[in-house]
Amino acid sequence: MVKKYGPFEAYIPKYCTRLNFRQLLWHCQLNQSISRRGSGWINSPMERFFRSLKRNESNH
């Protein structure tokens, strides 16, 4: 059964909420950022990076 999420609900994987994962992020001085699915403004830098990485791999 697949649950459909509304516009104000988000699917957050369980490993992202576990205490040891959050402590690891804190220890490495990283910020956790989870945006809604399809949020292009937040995700665009990573999408562009992986797109250019794929292009470079296919050219070699």
Mean pLDDT of 25-40: 72
Mean pLDDT of the chain: 70
Find tokens 């040891």 and name the residue: 20
Helical (H) or strand (E) element with 55: helix 40-59
> What six digits make up the tokens of 30?
């990283």
Whether 25 shows a pLDDT value over 60: the answer reads yes
pTM for this model (two decimals): 0.34
Whether 9 shows a pLDDT value over 70: the answer reads no
Whether 27 shows a pLDDT value over 60: the answer reads yes
Amino acid at 51: R
Pick the closest to residue 22 from 13, 32, 34 (CA basis): 32
Whether 39 shows a pLDDT value over 70: the answer reads no
Which pLDDT score is estimated for 38? Answer: 58
